[in-house]
A and B are shown apart, each in its own frame.
Chain A
C-alpha cells in the first residue's frame, strides 16, 4: 500500500511539474530574484527617508567646470567624493566614489565615445544649509542640500529632478574582512587588501594608494573604533544553487534614487520582455540588468535577458529627460509612482480634500559594484534626449544597405547543397532576400572560424554562388573557444594568455556548445586586436567579402556557470568579472566589427549581429531579441522590445520572424512576416528541432502573402536607408514610439501595438489570431494620414477601426510627408541599386509636404571619408514639388532616376510641367484618381541626384 501511494505521489508530482512546465517555459529557479541576490536584498531593505549622508559644504571646490564636494555617512564616518559637471548639450554628470577607497573602484571604460565636454558652472548662493549653482542658460539651477544630502535640478520654479530625495543613496565602502585571520592581520599589518593582493595582483600602486589612505585619514580610525557596520549574510560569500561566489572584496554595492515630479511615464532600461512603459515595481522584483542566456524566456516580466542598457527616459507632455547610469555590474532598477497604485477612490479623496498632489515617478538604481556615475539628460524634447545620449555613447552604426533587406536563417542549414537549394527556392518563388545564415553546425565541431569538412567542404564555392546572385552569408562566431590544443584559435589564445582567468589565476573554463571552453578576455585591447585580426581573409579560411558575422552566446553563456553565465569572481586582468559583466557582449561585438572593417582595409562597413549588448553597442551593429517562441504573445512583444532598444540608441533591432522555439501556424508565420517587414532587422529564424519553415512550405496562398510582405519591405528600402542614415547622424531611433513624434498627446504614451518608422510611417501590425480588424490610433489632431496602400485619407486624432484580411498590413503615411520607394523589387537589394524611384507625396491639410532622399554606394565608408553621397530635400508647396541638395559638398553620382510621382490628397491640375536645373521645361503626363484624390505623374525621368521642380498648374 505504501508503495502504491508513493507511486501515485510520484506520478502526481511528474504531472504537476509537466503542467507547470507548460505554463512557464522559463525555469525561473535558474535565475536570481532580488531576494536571492544578497546586495539587492540588503539595498532594498533600506528604509527611505533616513539618509545618513551629509554634504560637507566646506569641502566644496569649484574649478572651472568641475565641482567637487565631500559627503559623509554619519553612521560610519566614511567619506565619499561627489563630482559634478555641467556637460555641453544640456546634461549634468554626477559622479560619486569613495574619497579614499581601499583600492580603486572600477569605472566603466570604452563606452563613452569621448570625455564629455563640459561647460562652466557658477555658485549663485551658498549658506550652511546648501549651495545653489547655476547650470548656465535656460534658468537652470542645481541645489545642493547639506543635511541630508540631496540634489535638485530646477528650471525656473519647476523641479525637474531630485537625487537622493528619498534618502536611498547607499555606498558600501570597501572594508577589511573582520571574521578571518586576514582581519587580524589587517589590524596589525595592513588591510584585507594587503593580505590578498599577493594572490590577485602584484601592482604596487594599490599598495601605495592604500598606505596613503591609512595615514592621512583620521575618519578611518573613527570607523574602526566602534562604528563598523555589522556583517550581513552574503557580504563576503554568496551561494546560489551549487555555485559559490567568493567575494574577496566584500560588499561593494552602490545605490541612488531619483525623483521625477510631474512624470507618470518612464521608458527604457532594456532588455526586458515587458511593456514599453515601465511598470511600477513595488511589491515585485525590480527590473534587472544582468546579461543572461535565459532559456525560453517569459513575457511580461522584469527578469534580465541577454543585454542591458542602463538608460531610462522620463516623459511628460512638457518635458522628456534621460538618466544614464554608467555601471556594468549587476544592476536592479526599482520604479514607483505615486499614481500607479492609487485607486479611483483615492483620487476622489484627494480631489475632495483639495490635495495638490502632483504625480511623481521615483526611480532607484542599485548596482553590485563600481561607482555611481550618472548622466542626467535634461531634454527637453525627446529628440534632444536622443542627441544628448548620442553625444555620450555614439550613434547607430550605418548598416550596409543590404542588411536592411530580408535575412533567412535557420539552426541549421545543413550543408552547401542545402544552402544552394534554399537560395534557389527563393528565386523559384520569387521572394527577395539578401542574406542566408549559418548557425553553429556549420563549424568543425563548434570550433569557430572553421567549416565542417563533410558538410561545408568548399565554403568559397558556396559564397561565390551567392555572390553570383548578389547575395551574402552570415556565419556565426561565438566567443566560447573549445579547449583543444589542436585548434589554432585555442592554442594561440592560451599561449598568449588572453583567456579570462579564475580567481586562482588559471584559465577560466566552462561548458558551452563545444563542451569545455575557454572565454577570451575581450576587455583586454590586445585580445580584441588579436580577435579582429582573425577575420582577415587569409586567417579566416573560406571567408570572402560577402561573409558577415553573428556573435551569439556572448552574455557570456556558460551552461554550467552560475545563472548560466560566468563566475563573478573570475578575473579580467585584475578586474573582477563582477565589475564588468554587462560589458562582455559589447566588447565581443566591438572586436568582431573591428575585424570586418580591418579585413577590407577600412573600406567596407561591417555587419555584426549580437545577442548581448550594453550602452554603446549601437556603434557596432545590430541586435536581436534572442530566443523567442512561435506564439502570438511573442509577436506582440517584438514591438515594445525593439521600441525600448530604439529609445536607448540601438535602432537595428529585430525579433526572430516566426519565433525561434516551437512551430508557428501558417497564420502566425504570415502575420509575423508582415510585422517583421516593418521592423528594422528582418530575419526569419528557427530552432533545429522545429519543422522546416522556408516561406514556400505553407501552401501557395501563404507563400503569396509572405512574398507580398517581403516585397513591401524591399520597395521601402530607400526610406529605411534614409532613416538609418539619420539614426547614424543624430541618434534618433528608426522605429519610434508614437509619443516621440507626438510628445504632448498623452493618448500615445502607453501605445505599444503600433509604432512609427521615422516620422512619417505609422504601422499597426495585425498580431491577433483570427483578427477581422484592428483599431489603430492615428495621432495628431488637425493632421491627416493616408493608407499607404490605397491612399485613402483619414483624420488624425482618432481611433480608427480597420477591417483586415490575411493580406492586410495596416500602414499609414503621414500627411505632409514625402517618401521615396523603389517599386521594382528584385531578388536582392543589390540588384535594385540603379533602379528608379517613385515619390509618394502625402499632402498635409495645408497642401504641403516634405521629405528626403539619401543615396550612396550602400556598403563603404566613402560616404563618411569622402562625402560620397547624395542627400536631397524634397518639398511640396504652392503646387510645386522641388528636389534640392541638402549637402552642397557631397559628391556622388547615380544612374537611378525618378520614375513616377504619386501625390495623395491632390486636386486635379490642368497641366504638369517639369523644370530641369538647366532651365529646360517639358510637360509631363499625369492621371488623376478623383475617388482617392490621387495624382500620378508619369515618368519625370530626371536623375535622382539632380535639381528639378515639378509644377502643377
Chain B
C-alpha cells in the first residue's frame, strides 16, 4: 500500500519535471528508498552500524557493505543505481562513478568529473525496442517453422521406421536368396573344377613331351658342338673348353673334374652323353649363344631429396602445421627402397625363361567351356545377390544410425542430418555438416582441414541443445586436435552466420536455425521494466 503510494508520488514528481534525486539519495534504487530517510540516522544495510544521515554520500566509506555511499566512489564494493529513464535501469560498480567515463545513459554517474556525457537513454530505448520487436518476430516465425520441423521429423521418423522394417524384411529374403545361390554356385563349380583339371593335366603331359624333344635336340646340338674333332665322341679335353661346367666353380675345369663329369670315362659317345647331359644341361652354355653378363648391375635407390640445412632444427618458429610426421614417412620410405632393391636384384638373378616352348594353354574343349560358363553364371548371380544384401545391410545400418541420433527433444534438428552449410570468409570456406563434421578449405587452393567430427550436444545442463561440439579434427602443431563449438541461435533461416578461432585450433561457429526458437511469451506476461 505504502509502496504504491510512493510510486504515485514519484510519478507525479517526474511528470512535473523535478529531478529524481530530490526524492532519494543519489545512486539509490527505488526499491531501497525506504532505507535512506533524510534526517534520520542511517543503518548500514548489513546492519553493521548506524551513522548520522549526513554521512550518507559524504564521500567516505563507513559501512562495510558500501551501503552508505550509493552515490559516490568511496566504497570499493558499492554500487550505483542509474535510473536511465527511457531505457533499462541498471547498477554500475561505484568505481565507475565520476571516473570520467559515461556509463549510465542518463549521465547520472558523471556528476562531478567534467566528463561531457550525453543522455542517450531514449535513443537506446528505441533501438532496444526495435531489436526486441525484430527478435520477437523472428522468434515467432521461427517457432512456427520449428513446429513444422517437429511435424516433419515425426513423419520422417515414422517413414524411416517403416523403411527400416521393410528393409529388415528384404534382408531376410535376400539372405535366403544368397544361401540358395551359394548352393547353386557350389554345385556348378564342382564339375567345372574337374573338367578344368582334366584339361590342364592333358596339357601338362603334352608339354612334357615337347620339352623332352627339345632337350634331346639341344643335347644333340651340344654333342656336336663339343665333339670338336667330330669323331663321334666327346672327350675330356673337348669338355674342358667349357669352364662353366666346373663343378667346384673355381674357374677351371680340370681333367679329373671333366672326366668325373663324363662319368669316369675319357670319352663318351652320343648314347652315353645322354647321361652326362642331364647333369650339365643347366650349366652348359652354348657356344653360339652370347654369355650372360657377369656383373649384376646394381641400381642404387634414388637419393632422397635433401632438405636445406639449417642450424635450428628444433622447428623454432613454424608458421604452419606442416611436417609433423615427416620422420615416420622417412622410416617407411627407407624400407620401401630396400624392398624395391631386393626385388630388382632377385629378378635379375633368375631371369624368367619364357622362350617360345611353353605356349599358351590350348582353349578348352566345348564341354569344359560350357561347364565353366555355367559355373561363372552361378557365381555372378551369387555375387549379385550378396551385393544386394550388403547394400540393404548398409541402408539398415545408416537408418539405425540416423534414428539413434539425438535430434533434440522433439527431433526438431533431424532436418539438419546429411545437410551441409557453407560460410565463405576472405580466406576460407567453412562447411558445417551437422551431426557429421566441420571443415575448412582455403579459397585459393589447398586441401581441406577437418575442424572436428560430431561429438555431443554440449549446452548448459538446462539447455543442452543450443551448443554442438565437434571434436578430434586434424591435429595442430604442438597443440590439440582441432575442435569446433557451434552455437545455435533462433533464426528463420538455417545458416552459418560467423566463424572464428577464439583460441588456437578451437573454432567457434554461430549457426541460426528455427529449431532452437522458443515459444514466444504471450504479451500479457511480458514484465514491464521501465520504472514508471
Measuring CB to CB, which residues of chain A are less than 8 angstroms from any residue of chain B? 3, 6-7, 10-11, 14, 27, 30, 240-243, 295, 414, 430, 454, 468-470, 513, 559-560, 562-564, 688-692, 711, 823-827, 830-832, 835, 899-900, 938-939
5 A-B residue pairs with Cβ-Cβ distance under 8 Å, sorted by A, are A11-B331, A243-B311, A564-B316, A689-B504, A692-B502
Is B532's beta carbon under 8 Å from chain A? no
CA distance A410 to B319 in the complex (A): 16
Is B310's beta carbon under 8 Å from chain A? yes
Determine if B311 and A241 form an interchain contact, defined as CB atoms under 8 angstroms apart: yes
- Chain B contacts of A688 at CB under 8 A? 504
Determine if A30 and B74 form an interchain contact, defined as CB atoms under 8 angstroms apart: no
Determine if B100 and A689 form an interchain contact, defined as CB atoms under 8 angstroms apart: no
Stretch at the interface among B171-179, B472-480, B523-531: B472-480
Determine if A560 and B310 form an interchain contact, defined as CB atoms under 8 angstroms apart: yes
**Given A11-B331, A27-B314: 11 more A-B contacts, CB < 8 Å:** A10-B331, A295-B317, A470-B99, A563-B311, A688-B504, A689-B504, A824-B74, A824-B76, A827-B95, A831-B100, A899-B74
Q: Which of A7, A243, A295 contacts B314 (CB 8 A)?
A: A295
Mark interface residues in B71-105 (1 if CB within 8 Å of A CB, else 0): 00110100000000000000001011001110000
State how many angstroms separate the Cβ of A586 from the closest Cβ of chain B.
24
- Chain A contacts of B231 at CB under 8 A? none
- Chain A contacts of B99 at CB under 8 A? 470, 826-827, 831-832
Determine if B96 and A826 form an interchain contact, defined as CB atoms under 8 angstroms apart: yes
- Chain A contacts of B502 at CB under 8 A? 692
Q: Which of B60, B101, B309, B477 contacts A939 (CB 8 A)?
A: B60
Q: Which of A30, A513, A691, A823 contacts B503 (CB 8 A)?
A: A691
Q: Which of B93, B101, B312, B334 contacts A564 (CB 8 A)?
A: B312
- Chain B contacts of A414 at CB under 8 A? 500-501
Is B327's beta carbon under 8 Å from chain A? yes
Most buried by B among A242, A470, A691: A691
Determine if B311 and A242 form an interchain contact, defined as CB atoms under 8 angstroms apart: yes
CA distance A30 to B312 in the complex (A): 6
CA distance A513 to B316 in the complex (A): 11
Is B307's beta carbon under 8 Å from chain A? no
Q: Given A827-B95, A831-B99, do A938 and B503 touch, yes or no (CB 8 Å)?
A: no
Q: Given A454-B426, A826-B99, A939-B60, do A691 and B312 touch, yes or no (CB 8 Å)?
A: no
CA distance A4 to B331 in the complex (A): 11
Determine if A430 and B93 form an interchain contact, defined as CB atoms under 8 angstroms apart: yes
- Chain A contacts of B295 at CB under 8 A? none
Q: Which of A240, A243, A563, A938 contacts B60 (CB 8 A)?
A: A938
CA distance A527 to B367 in the complex (A): 99
In chain B, positions 489-515 with a C-beta closer than 8 Å to chain A are 500-506
- Chain B contacts of A27 at CB under 8 A? 312-314
Is B248's beta carbon under 8 Å from chain A? no
Mark interface residues in B318-332 (1 if CB within 8 Å of A CB, else 0): 000000000100010
CA distance A855 to B310 in the complex (A): 54
Which of chain A's residues has its CB closest to B480's CB?
A691
CA distance A899 to B309 in the complex (A): 67
Determine if B95 and A689 form an interchain contact, defined as CB atoms under 8 angstroms apart: no
Determine if B312 and A242 form an interchain contact, defined as CB atoms under 8 angstroms apart: no
Determine if A14 and B327 form an interchain contact, defined as CB atoms under 8 angstroms apart: yes
State how many angstroms separate the Cβ of A243 from the closest Cβ of chain B.
7
CA distance A690 to B338 in the complex (A): 42
Determine if A559 and B312 form an interchain contact, defined as CB atoms under 8 angstroms apart: yes
CA distance A832 to B478 in the complex (A): 42
- Chain A contacts of B479 at CB under 8 A? 689
Shortest 4 CB-CB distances between A and B: which pairs? A27-B314, A831-B99, A241-B311, A692-B503
Determine if A689 and B96 form an interchain contact, defined as CB atoms under 8 angstroms apart: no
Determine if A824 and B95 form an interchain contact, defined as CB atoms under 8 angstroms apart: yes
Q: Given A688-B504, A824-B73, do A560 and B96 touch, yes or no (CB 8 Å)?
A: no
Is B303's beta carbon under 8 Å from chain A? no
Determine if B316 and A559 form an interchain contact, defined as CB atoms under 8 angstroms apart: yes
- Chain B contacts of A11 at CB under 8 A? 331
Determine if B476 and A689 form an interchain contact, defined as CB atoms under 8 angstroms apart: yes
State how many angstroms separate the Cβ of A585 from the closest Cβ of chain B.
18
Determine if A689 and B478 form an interchain contact, defined as CB atoms under 8 angstroms apart: yes
Is B335's beta carbon under 8 Å from chain A? yes
Q: Given A559-B312, A688-B504, A691-B504, do A823 and B76 touch, yes or no (CB 8 Å)?
A: yes
Which of chain A's residues has its CB closest to B321's CB?
A689
- Chain B contacts of A835 at CB under 8 A? 73
State how many angstroms separate the Cβ of B330 from the closest Cβ of chain A.
8
CA distance A830 to B58 in the complex (A): 23
- Chain B contacts of A560 at CB under 8 A? 310-312
Which of chain B's residues has its CB closest to A564's CB?
B312
Most buried by A among B58, B73, B503: B503
State how many angstroms separate the Cβ of B186 from the closest Cβ of chain A.
42
CA distance A844 to B60 in the complex (A): 28
Q: Given A559-B316, A824-B95, do A30 and B311 touch, yes or no (CB 8 Å)?
A: yes
CA distance A241 to B309 in the complex (A): 10
Which of chain B's residues has its CB closest to A563's CB?
B311
State how many angstroms separate the Cβ of A36 from the closest Cβ of chain B.
12
- Chain B contacts of A563 at CB under 8 A? 311
State how many angstroms separate the Cβ of A924 from the closest Cβ of chain B.
11
CA distance A907 to B294 in the complex (A): 112
- Chain A contacts of B317 at CB under 8 A? 295, 513, 559
CA distance A825 to B73 in the complex (A): 9
CA distance A900 to B479 in the complex (A): 51
CA distance A414 to B505 in the complex (A): 13
- Chain A contacts of B506 at CB under 8 A? 691
Q: Which of B310, B339, B426 contacts A242 (CB 8 A)?
A: B310
Which of chain A's residues has its CB closest to B58's CB?
A939
CA distance A12 to B314 in the complex (A): 19
State how many angstroms separate the Cβ of A925 from the closest Cβ of chain B.
10
CA distance A825 to B76 in the complex (A): 7
CA distance A306 to B193 in the complex (A): 82
Q: Which of B76, B96, B101, B477 contacts A468 (CB 8 A)?
A: B101
Which of chain A's residues has its CB closest to B72's CB?
A824
CA distance A559 to B319 in the complex (A): 13
- Chain B contacts of A690 at CB under 8 A? 503-504
State how many angstroms separate the Cβ of B487 from the closest Cβ of chain A.
15
Most buried by A among B74, B99, B309, B327: B99
- Chain B contacts of A14 at CB under 8 A? 327
- Chain A contacts of B312 at CB under 8 A? 27, 30, 295, 559-560, 564
Q: Given A241-B311, A242-B311, A688-B504, do A295 and B100 touch, yes or no (CB 8 Å)?
A: no
In chain B, positions 131-181 with a C-beta closer than 8 Å to chain A are none
State how many angstroms separate the Cβ of B267 from the closest Cβ of chain A.
50
Which of chain A's residues has its CB closest to B102's CB?
A468
Q: Given A242-B311, A689-B476, A831-B100, do A7 and B76 touch, yes or no (CB 8 Å)?
A: no
Determine if B101 and A470 form an interchain contact, defined as CB atoms under 8 angstroms apart: yes
Mark interface residues in B35-69 (1 if CB within 8 Å of A CB, else 0): 00000000000000000000000101000000000
